[in-house]
């Protein structure tokens, strides 16, 4: 199963871009990368997902390296409400399972 490695915590100033890295060096060719975030005592919130190409939506951008061994989630203009734990997840091939790793605790400060 592909596993992900993320830094345990990061800080970001309000209004600046938050770049959250994720390593998934054992990812297989057809495995998607998902990003979710969890604000304290709530269910995880979907952010974005991708396979090979970079993706962008109203919340964030996802940059996947050409070899697919790592990716970066970019929040272009972080706000205090973006303070949360961010999870990078590789969906297990041929299953529907999302297995959460330890995530990155992002603290956005004024």
Partner 1 sequence: GAVVSQHPSRVICKSGTSVKIECRSLDFQATTMFWYRQFPKQSLMLMATSNEGSKATYEQGVEKDKFLINHASLTLSTLTVTSAHPEDSSFYICSARGRTGANYGYTFGSGTRLTVV
- If one asks whether residue 44 binds partner 1 (CB under 8 A), the answer comes out as yes
Q: Are the C-beta atoms of residues 36 and 44 closer than 8 Å to each other?
A: yes
- If one asks whether residue 59 binds partner 1 (CB under 8 A), the answer comes out as no
> Applying CB under 8 A, which of residues 58, 66, 67, 96 lies at the interface with partner 1?
96
**Interior CA angle at 79 toward 70 and 63, to 5°?**
20
Q: Which of these ranges, 11-19, 52-60, 74-82, 100-108, lies near partner 1 under the rule CB under 8 A?
A: 100-108
Phi then psi for 75, rounded to 5 degrees? -100, 110
How far lies 98's CA from each of 30, 36, 101, in Å? 15, 11, 10
Please, what is the minimum distance in Å from the beta carbon of residue 20 to partner 1?
Answer: 15
- If one asks whether residue 45 binds partner 1 (CB under 8 A), the answer comes out as yes
Q: Which is nearer to partner 1, 13 or 39 (CB)?
A: 39
């Amino acid at each position: 199963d592909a596993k992900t490695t993320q830094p345990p915590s990061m800080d970001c100033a309000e209004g600046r871009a938050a770049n959250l890295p994720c390593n998934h060096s054992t990812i297989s060719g057809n495995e998607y990368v998902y990003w979710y975030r969890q604000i304290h005592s709530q269910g995880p919130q979907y952010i974005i997902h991708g396979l090979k190409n970079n993706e962008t939506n109203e919340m964030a951008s996802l940059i996947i390296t050409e070899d697919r061994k790592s990716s970066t989630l970019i929040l272009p203009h972080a706000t205090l409400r973006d303070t949360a734990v961010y999870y990078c997840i590789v969906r297990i091939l041929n299953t529907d399972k999302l297995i959460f790793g330890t995530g990155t605790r992002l603290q956005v400060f004024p």
